[in-house]
Structure 1
Amino acid sequence: MPEFRMIDCGDVTLRCAIEGSGPLAIMVHGFPESWYSWRHQIAPIAAAGFTACAIDVRGYGGSDKPPRVEDYTLEKIAGDLVGLADALSPGEPVVLIGHDWGAPIVWNTAFTRPDRIRAVAGLSVPFAGAPLRPFTEVFREHFTSQGRFFYQEYFQEPGVAEAEAEADPRRFVETMMYSISGDVPPGNYWDKPAGATFLQDLPVPQGVPWLSEADLDYYAGEFGASGFRGPLNRYRNHERDFEWLKPWQGKQLEQPCLFIGGTRDPATTLFGAVTDPVAMMRMFAPRVEGHVLDGVGHWTQQERPEEVNALLIDWLKRL
């Protein structure tokens, strides 16, 4: 088991699961997850000669949970990672690895702080450069204005999604994970009208080999204790994130990059907007190495830990 440490990152204190010694590799999870989402990666990355550090993002688990929506901007969370790097690896550039929301977090931390980040890996969500308009405008044009449900629109009003998720955290996590995994039968589960709830019409979870009862118990315990307010506030900052990243429009991410996606992950194709995410990424991150794993859904490193570990460790050793 890794050692759990509370690290003062400047603005907040983060709970970190740490193992190994050597160059620092920070792992950043997505929604609805925790440091535990990297449970299969921590020991192998440590054994490869790195200090493996999987965090609870602010708002999650054992980390600080500031109260305001604006406490969850990309700028602030990127600042947490820089503060963590300064605390654990002062003066030495570090490696970032992120999944789901963790991928945009690590891409943009590396993008805006190349002095502190020497290489970056993102799982599930490719890097598409600094946005040209807030993502709220994009999903409202393509979904909300057409009378179609989009989960991030549902997450916008504080309190609504929190009430649904907190009514039964275990059911919420299990249903969400199953619904966009590589194990769910094909279907248009998310094609529902605006005004629907998140869980409405999603398939009843069937057992999957990569998500045990003990895993679900852990996630349920974390969210039962911490709630969903902080995690959902991340989705309520698209306009602030857009304003922060404006100065980087037209620039490229210059560090070595690794991308790993899945053929059954809607985020890998940016909800169908791109057919070849790796080719798209090369326009914005010319030093990217990319892999799209057949049959893998959204939960990349949990669904196929051995394949993901092999790709990650090979890349890390070549840095």
Structure 2
Amino acid sequence: MLNSEQHMLNVNDIHLSVHVAGPADGQPVWLLHGFPECWYSWRHQMQALAQAGYRAFAPEMRGYGASSAPMTVEAYDILTICGDIQAAMTHFGHEQVAMVGHDWGANIAWYLALLEPERVKVVSGMSVPFGGRPKRPVIDMMRERFRDRFLYILYFQEQGPAETELEADIPRTLRILMHGRPASGNGLIADKPADSRWLDDYVDPQVPPEWCPPEAFAVYVETFIDNGFHGPLNWYRNYERNWERTAHLAGKQVEQPAQFIIGDRDPVAALESITIERMPNVVPKVEQHVIERCGHWVQSQKPEEVNTLLLDFLRRHY
């Protein structure tokens, strides 16, 4: 059973909920969740890290759970979200940390490594690789490539439709996104019109997956009950703003010791195959690992394998 404590911080003009586990004098390890997840998705890692003597910090990211969920799209650009974690590190007096992230949290972790080369001593990204700042906004390339086909990120761009669909039945939405099966495609890219809804062609599995038992699933559901999905979806609506605000990071490499973990059945692997292949060009010290028989929710689906890789990486570099 995870023994953790919750801290409510006033940082970067928001309230940020951070769950903490491990000895008070342990080296800090930050664990940043993705979409549509929650801090509790790191429960297995928090327990393993605490037992190994580290102090784990798992925030409820901006827009999620007990943390603030501003309404405006501009409140969710990547430097603002990084600013939440930077201010939280300062609050806790952290001079050196290990930064770990999954999905969108991985993207934040990569950028924190760029922004905080002194404080972020090592970085581990799961499921989402880092390819550096692109020459133009990624959303422009997506619109060109998927002009006539459905892509979930493009579906998210308009405010309203995605919120209405995902919030209509939150437990159903989470069950489907965790392990539902689409009629075609891999769930992210589908052979259906570009103006389709996301989940209409999915079959609801009716129960959460084995890796998310009822007590854990309840935490996921609770995460979205009060504020819904507008905050998490707004993360996806800042591609152009992110590109504009990160001009000063163009050409920079993640020079710290780095780790990348992905499941062999993760649909992101196909979507980001070129980025994964080229990642050593911008993350020269990266160690890449593929976990077999594993989908997107890698830290929850294969916690023992992830914990082994993460702890070994930390022992060698942190």
With structure 1 as the length reference, what TM-score do the two structures score?
0.92
Q: Is 1:48 matched up with 2:52?
A: yes
Counterpart of 1:10 in structure 2: which amino acid?
Answer: N
The runs of at least 4 aligned residues of structure 1 exceeding 6 Å deviation read none
What does 1:98-247 correspond to in 2, within 5 Å? 98-143=101-146, 145=147, 147-179=148-180, 188-189=186-187, 190-205=190-205, 208-247=209-248
Shift of 1:95: 1.2
**C-alpha distance after superposition, 1:130-170 (max 9, x if no partner):** 12211211211111x1x101101111111111111111111
Confirm or deny: 8 A CA contact 2:96 2:119 kept in the other structure.
yes
SS in 1 for 2:31: strand
Shift of 1:259: 0.5
Deviates more, 1:11-20 or 1:98-107: 11-20
Aligned counterpart for 2:43 among listed residues 39, 45, 68: 39
Give the Cα separation in 1 of the matches to 2:102 and 2:183: 23
Confirm or deny: 8 A CA contact 2:184 2:191 kept in the other structure.
no
2:97 matched to which residue of 1?
94
Shift of 1:187: 5.5
Shift of 1:291: 0.2
Confirm or deny: 8 A CA contact 2:30 2:100 kept in the other structure.
yes
2:82 matched to which residue of 1?
78
Shift of 1:186: 9.2
Counterpart of 1:126 in structure 2: which amino acid?
Answer: P
Counterpart of 1:289 in structure 2: which amino acid?
Answer: E
Counterpart of 2:118 in structure 1: which amino acid?
Answer: D
Aligned counterpart for 2:293 among listed residues 292, 295, 300: 295
Confirm or deny: 8 A CA contact 1:131 1:245 kept in the other structure.
no
Confirm or deny: 8 A CA contact 2:15 2:68 kept in the other structure.
yes
- Consecutive unaligned residues in structure 2, runs of 5 or more: none
Q: Is 1:17 matched up with 2:19?
A: yes
Confirm or deny: 8 A CA contact 1:66 1:230 kept in the other structure.
yes
Give the Cα separation in 1 of the matches to 2:96 and 2:279: 23
Give the Cα separation in 1 of the matches to 2:219 and 2:96: 32
Shift of 1:185: 10
1:286 matched to which residue of 2?
284
Shift of 1:10: 3.1
SS in 2 for 1:247: helix
Shift of 1:115: 2.5
Give the Cα separation in 2 of the matches to 1:193 and 1:43: 44
Q: Is 1:309 matched up with 2:287?
A: no
Confirm or deny: 8 A CA contact 2:183 2:201 kept in the other structure.
no
- Consecutive unaligned residues in structure 1, runs of 5 or more: none
Confirm or deny: 8 A CA contact 1:131 1:246 kept in the other structure.
no
2:6 matched to which residue of 1?
4
Give the Cα separation in 2 of the matches to 1:203 and 1:290: 33
SS in 2 for 1:318: helix
2:266 matched to which residue of 1?
265
Counterpart of 2:299 in structure 1: which amino acid?
Answer: Q
Confirm or deny: 8 A CA contact 1:253 1:285 kept in the other structure.
yes
Shift of 1:9: 2.5
Confirm or deny: 8 A CA contact 2:12 2:84 kept in the other structure.
yes
What RMSD, in angstroms, separates the aligned Cα atoms of the two structures?
1.9
Counterpart of 2:199 in structure 1: which amino acid?
Answer: L
Give the Cα separation in 2 of the matches to 1:159 and 1:185: 24
Matched residue pairs, number? 310
Give the Cα separation in 1 of the matches to 2:215 and 2:162: 25
Calculate percent identity across the aligned residue pairs: 43
Shift of 1:247: 2.0
With structure 2 as the length reference, what TM-score do the two structures score?
0.92
1:57 matched to which residue of 2?
61
Shift of 1:273: 4.2
SS in 2 for 1:216: helix
